[in-house]
Amino acid sequence: MLDLTYDAPKPKIIAGAKQDWELVIGLEVHAQVATNAKLFSGASTLFGAEPNSNVAFVDAGMPGMLPVINEECVAQAVRTGLGLKADINLYSAFDRKNYFYPDLPPGYQISQLYHPIVGEGEVLVDMAPGIARVVRIERIHLEQDAGKSIHDMDPTMSFVDLNRTGVALMEIVSRPDIRGPEEAAAYVSKLRQIMRYLGTCDGNMQNGNLRADVNVSICQPGAYERYQETQDFSHLGTRCEIKNMNSLRFIQQAIDVEAKRQIAIVEGGGEVVQETRLYDPDKGETRSMRSKEEAHDYRYFPDPDLLPLEIEQSWVDDIASGLPELPDEKRLRFMEEFGLSEYDASVLTADVANAAYFEEVAQAGDGKLAANWVINELFGRLKKDDDKDITDSPVSPGQLRDIIALITKGDISGKIAKDLFEIVYTEGGNPAEIVDARGMRQVTDTGAIEAAVDEIIAANPAQVEKAKANPKLAGWFVGQVMKATGGKANPKAVNEIVAKKLGS
């Protein structure tokens, strides 16, 4: 395990009119499995295709069609489970969740209620350097996504697009271990980061490939600790579930307004009723979608068309041995191997492509200097350039490594290096050749620097007198020499020679 000595953040306190309240939050995250084909058919999962062009007969619920499990979807769920340090269940089974909806032609969704493929795991949710909370994962199950009803294309008709029907989802269910809106967003970010490292979900929230049902309740200080000790839910308040959130910002806003709504009810002498709610970002409120009494009776039963899913431990072990280094491990290694601060290591490991780029730059060099250049210069420049991705960086890791090597060898100053970086960024080319071709090399030849210093001293006798009386004014001469040499003189050498000549 990792050697991380973290302080858990304090739970978010929300001031009520009469007393303080704490929040308890549990998330059900739906992550679309990154695969080419659907969970039980060979139809493509490509986003943005012509409506109803990626639909197999079984997706359309044609009578007599049989589902056939896609092995890659199972492998992806196992990979995700392993990435969340969870138990993998060698035996799992699919159940039918029955309900009618136009975008669900068979009249049921195939899911895993009683025997999910992944059991208990955990996620380390980072709040700030040194501050993180462990959020326990209860389970991950595989299920089918539904299609999309379109109500805004025609005044009298609704349309349905079944391209998404049957696409594999992983539903990742957390324990109610999340204690505030920021933490909920950080939890989803961390899940997304881990799944992107694993390649199991692209994490694109805008396309709906990652979305969350957010369960919120309030309790008095101390109640959550009693729940933790006993795992008895009766210590917690009644929860409401806010459905289908696909933005980190909205998740936070919705939790905040929902908590305030519940506080007002309880402090007003009422009781929170368990129900499903929707967040309206325009109005900044949640509203009831259906109460528990109106909840569907899904009449779950084992899907008779599918055998229980039995997988081999050796197959799981194979998948485990092919897992990439994950964000927590990578961050820790960057701190140890390159001497980076936790903050810099977090920034560089936020995305696996950034981390790979940095490692190539830092190879056999000064890790801290490399981190500085990647974070401050390169990321800054990419951001200014239409928020370009690192994979589209015009400066390759090799080129940046060469620029940094020129600085450490003393061939160019840090200031000239920035000019050089800009040239390489906009025009390309070999950094060392550019330095030679454009005469950017740092002047370390003390003879040349001495000559420049002498010239300036001779031309400014009044300044010399002043500087002799006040050594702080030597800086003026240094500046003049730098100007005269186009910034190419080695600043350390200039300082020494100026000091010597002024006799200070």
- Binding residues for ligand ADP, rule: CB under 6 A, are 24-28, 173-176, 215-217, 233, 236-237, 239
Q: Which residues pair with 290 in a beta bridge?
A: 276
Could you identify the residue written with the tokens 């704490």?
A: 22
Contact 452, 460 (CB under 8 A): no
The least distance separating ligand ADP from the CB of residue 21, rounded to whole angstroms, comes to 13
Cα–Cα distances in Å, from 273 out to 17, 121, 209, 239? 20, 30, 30, 8
325's tokens: 């280094």
The least distance separating ligand ADP from the CB of residue 74, rounded to whole angstroms, comes to 22
The least distance separating ligand ADP from the CB of residue 238, rounded to whole angstroms, comes to 7
Cα–Cα distances in Å, from 121 out to 176, 179, 196, 292, 328? 13, 18, 18, 29, 15
Residue 3 has a CB neighbour count (10 Å cut-off) of 6
Best CA proximity match to 25, nearest among 301, 261, 307, 224:
224
The least distance separating ligand ADP from the CB of residue 423, rounded to whole angstroms, comes to 53
Q: Is 19 left (phi over 0), alpha (psi -120 to 50) or beta?
A: beta
Could you identify the residue written with the tokens 């899940």?
A: 191
Cα–Cα distances in Å, from 373 out to 28, 54, 293, 324? 39, 45, 59, 26
The least distance separating ligand ADP from the CB of residue 216, rounded to whole angstroms, comes to 6
Enumerate helices (H) and strands (E) in the chain, giving the number of each. 17, 16
Contact 235, 222 (CB under 8 A): no
Residues in the chain: 504
Nearer Cβ to ligand ADP (239/330) = 239
Determine the Cα–Cα distance for residues 118 and 321; give it in Å rounded to an integer.
Answer: 18
Nearer Cβ to ligand ADP (24/482) = 24
Determine the Cα–Cα distance for residues 327 and 316; give it in Å rounded to an integer.
Answer: 21
The least distance separating ligand ADP from the CB of residue 232, rounded to whole angstroms, comes to 11
Residue 194 has a CB neighbour count (10 Å cut-off) of 20
Nearer Cβ to ligand ADP (212/474) = 212
Residue 268 has a CB neighbour count (10 Å cut-off) of 9
The least distance separating ligand ADP from the CB of residue 227, rounded to whole angstroms, comes to 8
Nearer Cβ to ligand ADP (196/239) = 239
The least distance separating ligand ADP from the CB of residue 272, rounded to whole angstroms, comes to 10
The least distance separating ligand ADP from the CB of residue 235, rounded to whole angstroms, comes to 9
Determine the Cα–Cα distance for residues 259 and 226; give it in Å rounded to an integer.
Answer: 20
Nearer Cβ to ligand ADP (262/399) = 262
Nearer Cβ to ligand ADP (233/343) = 233
The least distance separating ligand ADP from the CB of residue 197, rounded to whole angstroms, comes to 23
The least distance separating ligand ADP from the CB of residue 166, rounded to whole angstroms, comes to 22
Determine the Cα–Cα distance for residues 261 and 248; give it in Å rounded to an integer.
Answer: 20
Nearer Cβ to ligand ADP (113/150) = 113
Determine the Cα–Cα distance for residues 120 and 139; give it in Å rounded to an integer.
Answer: 6
Residue 431 has a CB neighbour count (10 Å cut-off) of 25
Pairing outcome for strands 159-161 and 168-174: unpaired
Which residue number places its CB atom closest to ligand ADP?
Answer: 26
Taken in order 448, 450, 453, 457, the sign of the CA dihedral is negative
